[in-house]
Amino acid sequence: MKKWICMALSCAFVLAVSGCGRSENQKRTEENIASDIPVSDSSQSESLSSETSVASEQPVSIEPISAETNSTKIEDNGHMESERSETVEESISFDFESKRVMLNSGYEMPIYGLGTYSLTGEVCVDSVTAALNSGVRLIDTAYMYHNEESVGEAVRNSGIPREEIFVITKLYPNQFSNPEAAIEEALTKLDIEYIDMMLLHHPGTGDVDAYLAMEKAVEDGKIRSLGLSNWYVEELEEFLPQVNITPALVQNEIHPYYQENDVIPYIHGLGIVVQGWYPLGGRGYTAELLNNEVITEIAQAHGKSSAQVILRWNLQKGVVVIPGSSNPDHIKENTELFDFELTEEEMDRINGLDRNEKHDWY
């Protein structure tokens, strides 16, 4: 009996020791598994959680869409990109009450102004002064107009706060080889503290490098917004992927005989404002356009001039207008565009006048 009791006690002891061993091994295995998870992963998880929390408290910033990323995103997700394009187009719609448009650079620009091509010396000073006195706050000049000094003089002597006037100037291709000096020259000639917007006048050798120099001037506070003149779809598709700041504006020839109905939506889709030069057809063509039967009929219906109808047509198409004139009466007339509206039928009739007829070489 004692023998059986001893054997039973021995078996119980062995089982107890074995059970303790299994429990300890299981515990060590769990510790080893836990130790296989890198500490960095744990901290990274905490870091990501922290970053997500911080990011959710920050305003969402949508970057401008370049031609390259735009086409890529359409290919990846056409529906999403279509919605984004519609949002961009809405964001550049004109405010007809303030008579301004918000640029993708964050600055507001008037939607009508004065073009100064062919205006020089005192004629230019007087014309810009007349425009400012008539409520115009957008003035377009260029190196090749040889009137930057005159524009600057009129702006400085106007008595109007500098921040209320928006001045555009341009670098010409013969300046692209030394854009830094060209930018300084424009600043000196205008002498108005800063340049609201600088454009490249048209494509040429070195245009990308010139634009990159303009980007640096934006960083330095010398220029506020950038743009291009005489760039169309193919030129934009090639140019935009090579620069960092999306142009805020593209300025092209646009009038009822040359409407760019394929180009304007493309540019708007990139979040870029469109501005039209030669809105009344340009020298040698203005009389014919102003006497066009369709336009004169519409003008009579509204009690307006043909010029006012054409300018209003541009505005309703989302095109900023900068008609040029040295006549104070015409300058004032060209500002009286906001007390009437063209009907859809009238817009369609003018749209039907398109001849794809360009009146200048670039």
Q: Going residue by residue through the chain, which has 362 residues, state the pLDDT in tens, using 9 for 90 and above.
A: 444 444 444 444 433 434 444 433 333 333 333 333 233 333 333 332 333 332 333 322 223 333 333 332 323 333 333 333 333 344 568 999 999 999 999 999 999 999 999 999 999 999 999 999 999 999 999 999 999 999 999 999 999 999 999 999 999 999 999 999 999 999 999 999 999 999 999 999 999 999 999 999 999 999 999 999 999 999 999 999 999 999 999 999 999 999 999 999 999 999 999 999 999 999 899 999 999 999 999 999 999 999 999 999 999 999 999 999 999 999 999 999 999 999 999 999 999 999 999 988 77
Q: Report d(CA 78, CA 262) in Å as an integer.
A: 20
**Would you say 118 and 317 are in contact if contact means Cβ atoms under 8 Å apart?**
no
Residue 133 lies in a domain: yes
Q: Is the pTM of this model over 0.85?
A: no
> What pLDDT sits at residue 283?
83
Residue 53 lies in a domain: no
Residue 343 lies in a domain: yes
Residue 1 lies in a domain: no
> What pLDDT sits at residue 86?
36
Residue 131 lies in a domain: yes
Residue type, 129: T
Residue 17 lies in a domain: no
> What pLDDT sits at residue 92?
67
Residue 45 lies in a domain: no
> What pLDDT sits at residue 23?
38
Q: Which of 145, 211, 258, 266 is catalytic?
A: 145
Domain that holds residue 294: 67-351
Domain count, the chain: 1
List the alpha helices (DSSP H) in the chain: 2-35, 39-57, 67-76, 78-91, 121-133, 148-156, 179-190, 207-219, 233-239, 263-269, 286-290, 293-302, 306-316, 328-333, 344-351
Residue 90 lies in a domain: yes
> What pLDDT sits at residue 328?
98
| Residue 99 CB contacts under 8 Å (≥ 6 apart), including other chains | 110, 111, 112, 338
Q: What is the CA radius of gyration of the chain?
A: 33
Is there a catalytic annotation at residue 145? yes
CATH number, domain of 124, equals 3.20.20.100
